[in-house]
Amino acid sequence: KLHRKAAHRLLNLCRENGGVYIKVGQHLANLDYLIPQEYIEVMSTLFDDTPQSSYENVCRVIEEDLNGRVEDLFDRFDPKPIASASLAQVHVAFDKKTGRKLAVKVQHRGLRETSAGDIFTVT
């Protein structure tokens, strides 16, 4: 019971801090040979329940990274991601010039700014 309670507290910490912390939590979920089973069960939820950035934030990241608006860069851009993970998510888009279907991977907003400090904290 104590392990499960502590595992939920750790899970909440990972979710609240996002990014690298979710990645660390996912890694912990794979350490079944080292940590109690309660941690494995609770932390494994981080594989299926990852954060999704809003379409507004996705557009802002694209504008900052590619120096152009989504409407100017792509003929179509699906606002709903086809996949989301701890550090980024993937959207389907169509190239404005060629019409080619693309998978556009977009980092979650703020990750660039916080990841160096997060990595320093967990090492």
Model pTM score = 0.72
Looking at per-residue pLDDT, the higher value among 121 and 54 belongs to: 54
For residue 33, which phi and psi values (nearest 5 degrees)?
A: -85, -5
pLDDT > 70? residue 105? yes
Looking at per-residue pLDDT, the higher value among 80 and 21 belongs to: 80
**HSE-CB of 63 using CA atoms within 13 angstroms:** 9
pLDDT more than 70, % of the chain: 89
- Burial of 100-110, coded b for 16+ CB within 10 Å and e otherwise, reads eebebebbbbe
Report residue 20's pLDDT band, with 50, 70 and 90 as the boundaries. confident
pLDDT > 80? residue 109? yes
pLDDT of 33: 95
